[in-house]
């Protein structure tokens, strides 16, 4: 088992740990797990519960002995039946545990528990060397902080909230075992510095540590260069490409193209764990709901996929990533959304702004920009808001020619009959204003709005205007 360096960062700040488990063959463990125990309240009174079980009449002449770190006997008994004992101890105390073989060894099992949760269990199928330890040392844990299990032939990555300076202990639990040769695991800090790890082929005593203590150090390494990761996933559609991506909480969502009938997301912490929501499971028609442009998330955490060309259905993905809802909208081809209260205003490629009530998930109203005084308003690349107005970033007009006409509309008074404000940046007095068109994106910082052209390497900054 590989162990890490021992510098410490500033105590008290929030961080997290990462536990990775992988079994490259399907003949490994069934139910391998990890447990992280809290040792922060060292010295606090605790009760250790010992449960012993056996077939029929139970143990026959098998004796257990619990000692403290100084060798003082805290409890001992010879068991003939299935029984349980409670012994007062303190969190953080060093202990030793011995179980001797009597005349009845078949079917013998036991567990040590705290707060009703076992921190050391031995099944009756385990080898005698595990069922009958001699002076096996361990530290008395407090409460269980985190745990997880993994099926044979799979990969699992979990993130565990922690605080810099925490005193913790790690156990890796064998579960129902056939062979663990192909299994590997690693416990890492937030910056991926290894705390403990065990590689493929390591001996059981390395792969199954019991309450190995460590201190949470937090981020020690400041990365000064870009990092990258390749995500491999065994699904034919994984290699068919994606239209866009966006992050929501701990996950990065990949926006599917027309060749997909599944929605994928990847965990942002490790960029290795993939989850899939198929259209069939979500209740989405393959024929009607393909080709999405981008997506967004609302304040409640729901994910929305915006339809691209040829698709007129907005998809709302449930927080559990197990189901989805769909809404038929009045146009297709949207490049983003402007959020305002419970509403989303969809940024159109086709010239029709659509207002969606996110709470009830229905279309409130639409505004067709072709009925404005300037009927050529169409094909916007992005949208943003300053809290009062929505802004549509111009890309092309209705003749597919580059456009520099920024559209602004009042969010609070939005209706199908409002008049929008329009500024044509190509008519500005700046000598290079002729090239201020065909913008690929934009945003605002509270004072200025910014737009970047697609082809002429120009960024335009502007203040809001009055009409």
> Facing residues of 392 across strands?
383, 407
- What distance in Å separates the CA atoms of residue 196 and residue 342, rounded to the nearest whole number? 46
Element (H, E) at 464: none
From the CA atom positions of the chain, what is the Rg in Å? 31
The residues, any chain, with a CB within 8 Å of residue 145's CB and separated by 6 or more, are 36, 37, 38, 160, 162, 168
User: Model confidence at 36, in pLDDT bands (50, 70, 90)?
Assistant: very high
Q: What percent of the chain has pLDDT over 90?
A: 36
- What distance in Å separates the CA atoms of residue 307 and residue 349, rounded to the nearest whole number? 11
Of 45 and 465, the structure prediction assigns the larger pLDDT to: 45
DSSP string, 236-254: GGGGG-EEEEEEETTEEEE
Q: Closest Cα to residue 82, out of 56, 119, 104?
A: 56
Please compute the mean of the pLDDT values over residues 190-210 and round it to a whole number.
84
- What distance in Å separates the CA atoms of residue 420 and residue 380, rounded to the nearest whole number? 14
Of 176 and 174, the structure prediction assigns the larger pLDDT to: 174
Of 429 and 49, the structure prediction assigns the larger pLDDT to: 49
Q: b/e for 187-215, b at 16 or more Cβ within 10 A?
A: bbbbeeeebbbbeeebeeeebbbbbbebe
Residue 411 CA to its chain's centroid (Å):
33
CA-CA distances (angstroms) from residue 393 to 157, 196, 383, 460? 40, 50, 6, 11
Q: Closest Cα to residue 33, out of 127, 103, 114, 117?
A: 117
What's the pLDDT tens digit per position in 88-120? 999 999 999 999 887 655 677 889 999 999 999
The residues, any chain, with a CB within 8 Å of residue 125's CB and separated by 6 or more, are 176
Sheet holding 449-453, edge to edge: 439-444, 449-453, 459-462
Of 16 and 398, the structure prediction assigns the larger pLDDT to: 16
Question: What are φ and ψ of residue 205, in 5° steps?
Answer: -65, -20
User: Model confidence at 461, in pLDDT bands (50, 70, 90)?
Assistant: very high
Structure-token pair, residue 94: 């060093």
Of 240 and 366, the structure prediction assigns the larger pLDDT to: 366
Q: Closest Cα to residue 396, out of 362, 350, 356, 359?
A: 350
Question: What are φ and ψ of residue 281, in 5° steps?
Answer: -65, -40
Q: Are the beta carbons of 28 and 179 closer than 8 angstroms?
A: yes
3-state secondary structure of 371: helix
> Facing residues of 383 across strands?
392
CA-CA distances (angstroms) from residue 55 to 73, 82, 161, 341, 422? 28, 8, 41, 64, 84
Q: Is the pLDDT confidence value at 225 over 50?
A: no
The residues, any chain, with a CB within 8 Å of residue 45's CB and separated by 6 or more, are 88, 90
pLDDT for 77 equals: 87
Structure-token pair, residue 125: 């199928």
- What distance in Å separates the CA atoms of residue 108 and residue 234, rounded to the nearest whole number? 42
Please compute the mean of the pLDDT values over residues 177-187 and round it to a whole number.
72
The residues, any chain, with a CB within 8 Å of residue 129's CB and separated by 6 or more, are none
The CATH number of 1-41+142-227, from 2.60.40, 2.40.128, 1.10.357, 1.10.10, is 2.60.40
pLDDT for 55 equals: 58
Residue 233 CA to its chain's centroid (Å):
16
- What distance in Å separates the CA atoms of residue 462 and residue 445, rounded to the nearest whole number? 11
The residues, any chain, with a CB within 8 Å of residue 133's CB and separated by 6 or more, are 97, 98, 99
Helix, strand, coil fractions of the chain, as percent rounded to 5: 5, 50, 45
In CATH, what number does 242-462 get? Answer: 2.130.10.10
The dihedral region occupied by 283, where left means phi > 0, alpha psi between -120 and 50, and beta the remainder, is left
């Amino acid at each position: 088992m590989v162990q890490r360096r021992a510098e410490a960062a500033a105590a008290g700040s929030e961080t997290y740990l990462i536990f990775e488990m992988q079994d490259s063959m399907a003949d490994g463990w069934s139910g391998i797990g990890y447990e992280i125990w809290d040792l922060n309240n060292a010295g606090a009174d605790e009760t250790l519960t010992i449960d012993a079980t056996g077939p029929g009449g139970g143990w026959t002449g098998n004796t257990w002995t619990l000692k403290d770190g100084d060798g003082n006997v805290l409890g001992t008994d010879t068991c003939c039946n299935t029984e349980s004992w409670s012994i007062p101890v303190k969190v953080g105390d060093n202990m030793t545990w011995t179980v001797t073989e009597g005349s009845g060894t078949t079917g013998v099992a036991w567990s040590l528990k705290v707060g009703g949760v076992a921190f050391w269990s031995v099944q009756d199928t385990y080898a005698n060397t595990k069922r009958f330890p001699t002076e096996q040392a361990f530290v008395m844990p407090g409460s269980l902080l985190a745990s997880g299990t993994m099926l044979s032939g799979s990969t699992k990555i979990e993130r565990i909230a922690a605080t810099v300076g925490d005193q913790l202990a790690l156990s890796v639990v064998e579960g129902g075992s056939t062979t663990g040769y192909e299994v590997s695991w690693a416990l890492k800090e937030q910056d991926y510095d290894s705390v403990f790890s065990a590689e493929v082929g390591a001996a059981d005593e390395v792969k199954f540590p019991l309450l190995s203590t460590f201190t949470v150090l937090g981020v020690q390494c400041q990365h000064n260069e870009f990092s990258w990761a390749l995500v491999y996933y065994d699904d034919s559609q994984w290699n068919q490409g994606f239209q866009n991506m966006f992050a929501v909480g701990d996950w990065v969502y990949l926006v599917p193209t027309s060749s997909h009938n599944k929605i994928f997301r990847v965990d942002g912490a490790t960029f290795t764990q993939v989850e899939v929501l198929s259209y069939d499971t979500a209740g989405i028609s393959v024929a009607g709901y393909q080709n999405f442009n981008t997506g967004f998330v609302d304040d409640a955490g729901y994910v929305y996929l915006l339809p691209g060309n040829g698709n007129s259905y907005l998809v709302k993905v449930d927080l559990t990533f197990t189901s989805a809802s769909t809404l038929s909208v009045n146009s297709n081809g949207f490049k983003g959304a402007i959020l305002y209260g419970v509403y989303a205003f969809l940024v159109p490629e086709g010239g029709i702004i659509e207002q969606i009530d996110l709470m009830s998930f229905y279309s409130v109203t639409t505004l067709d920009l072709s009925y404005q005084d300037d009927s050529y308003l169409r094909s916007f690349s992005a949208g943003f808001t300053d809290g009062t107005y929505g802004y549509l970033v111009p890309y092309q007009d209705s003749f597919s020619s580059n456009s520099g006409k920024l559209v602004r509309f009042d969010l609070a008074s939005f209706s199908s009959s409002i008049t929008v404000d329009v500024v044509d940046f190509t008519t500005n007095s700046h000598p290079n204003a002729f090239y201020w068109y065909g913008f690929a994106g934009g945003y605002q910082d509270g004072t200025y709005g910014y737009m970047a052209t697609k082809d002429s390497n120009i960024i335009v900054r502007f203040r809001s205007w009055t009409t």
